[in-house]
Amino acid sequence: MKAAVLYRVGEIPQYADFAEPIPAPHEQLIHMKAASIKNLDKGRAKGTHYDKHKNYPAIVGVDGVGVLEDGTRVYAGSQTGMMSEKALINKSWYVSVPDELDDVTAAAIPNPAISAWLSLVYKGKLKAGDTVLILGATGITGKLAVQIARHLGAGKIIAIGRNQQALDKLDADVSISLNQSDDDIKQAIKAETAKTPFDVVIDYLWGKPAELLLNTLAGHDLNATIDHITRYVQVGEMAGSAINLPAAILRSTAIELTGAGGGSISKEVIVKIQTEILPEVFKLAAEGKLSIDTLAIPLKDVADAWQQEAQGKRVVITM
């Protein structure tokens, strides 16, 4: 069969022949239709992710959409690679894909939508009517976070990002551009928190934008009281992996600072991804209530696709 094959750590996957997989007793065969290229996939290939490939040659891609032997179309994951004509998945872990949802969208939306959902609901503890600020709202996951926050009943959504065109298209109540001076950014944030203190902050940037935001929130009497807590959820680090965080910020402000990632979610919640969260995401996407920008590229062009700068779109390999 044909597959996206990684021959050595740090190299670009190549379109090549690969031995057809043979299911173990706990596995089943899936005929692949589409698989997205994510930072996780690239990190594993580079050897920078903790769950890097251990044996070579290897098939890249940790998840995707395909058809089971009985004709059921499903989304699933696999540690043995899914950017191939056939793959192996666990017999007990997959989610059916609605007929109304196309393969490319179904392959692209789970990773960022699950991340946004977990960040908002289980780490940010979003309640209907809450004021939500999304820092990095113009990225793939940030755009979905805005949509999901709206679906979950957020009372006010403030989107902060650098891509003005993307900001203008978001269903946010307030947009703040990062393409302005630090003082102007601070003043814009200060003006909004004076109107409605932030209940939930989802941060996909970290780095300097996070410093500006945290410093703006710290030590100011802007209608905030000791009874009001801002739940600050750190998710990504597109603007930097470290920040300067003065201790006084945490002492002078009612901020709960936490992170959302694979190591911070309980097993009880992880189970809900298959049984509750992903089925709801697929339902909303099939109804047109959640959307993601995609760029579909055939498997034979995987080497070029791997290096593609998609500008806010999720690259999806089609089989």
Find where tokens 């392959």 sit.
107
| pLDDT tens digits, one per residue of 198-240 | 999 999 999 999 999 999 988 654 454 567 889 999 999 999 9
Are 6 and 93 part of one and the same domain? yes
Query: Residue 213 maps to which CATH number?
Result: 3.40.50.720
Bridge partners (DSSP) of residue 28 are 89
Q: Are 67 and 41 in contact (CB under 8 A)?
A: no
| Cα angle value 272/274/277 (rounded, 5°) | 60
Distance of CA 104 to the CA centre of its chain: 16
Q: Are 16 and 1 in contact (CB under 8 A)?
A: no
Do you find a cis peptide bond into 25, omega within 30 degrees of 0?
no
With respect to residue 281, please indicate whether it lies within any of the assigned structural domains. no
Which is it for the CA torsion 265, 266, 271, 275, positive or negative? negative
Q: Which two tokens stand for residue 69?
A: 């032997």
With respect to residue 36, please indicate whether it lies within any of the assigned structural domains. yes
Distance of CA 77 to the CA centre of its chain: 16
pLDDT of 265 above 80: yes
Q: Which two tokens stand for residue 111?
A: 């990773």
Position 63 scores a pLDDT of 98
Q: What is the rounded CA–CA span in Å between residue 60 and residue 45?
A: 7
With respect to residue 218, please indicate whether it lies within any of the assigned structural domains. yes
What is the pLDDT of the chain when averaged over all its residues?
94
Are 146 and 244 part of one and the same domain? yes
One-letter amino acid at 297 equals: I
Position 222 scores a pLDDT of 46
Bridge partners (DSSP) of residue 136 are none
The residue out of 235, 259, 283 marking a domain boundary is 259
Are 116 and 219 part of one and the same domain? yes
Contacts within 8 Å (CB) and 24+ apart, 167-174: 167/137, 167/138, 170/137, 170/138, 170/143, 170/146, 171/146, 171/147, 172/134, 172/137, 172/146
Q: What is the rounded CA–CA span in Å between residue 32 and residue 137?
A: 31
| pLDDT tens digits, one per residue of 281-309 | 999 999 999 999 999 999 999 999 999 98
| pLDDT tens digits, one per residue of 240-257 | 999 999 888 888 788 999
Query: Residue 20 maps to which CATH number?
Result: 3.90.180.10
Are 120 and 247 part of one and the same domain? yes
With respect to residue 277, please indicate whether it lies within any of the assigned structural domains. no
One-letter amino acid at 136 equals: G
| pLDDT tens digits, one per residue of 163-208 | 999 999 999 999 999 999 999 999 999 999 999 999 999 999 999 9
Note down the domain range covering 242: 112-259
pTM, to two decimals: 0.92
Position 219 scores a pLDDT of 62
Position 220 scores a pLDDT of 52
Instruction: Give the count of domains, the chain.
Output: 2
With respect to residue 270, please indicate whether it lies within any of the assigned structural domains. no
Are 229 and 155 part of one and the same domain? yes
With respect to residue 279, please indicate whether it lies within any of the assigned structural domains. no
**Residue range 17-39: mean pLDDT, rounded:** 96
Which is it for the CA torsion 298, 287, 136, 179, positive or negative? positive
| pLDDT tens digits, one per residue of 87-119 | 999 999 999 999 999 999 999 999 999 999 999
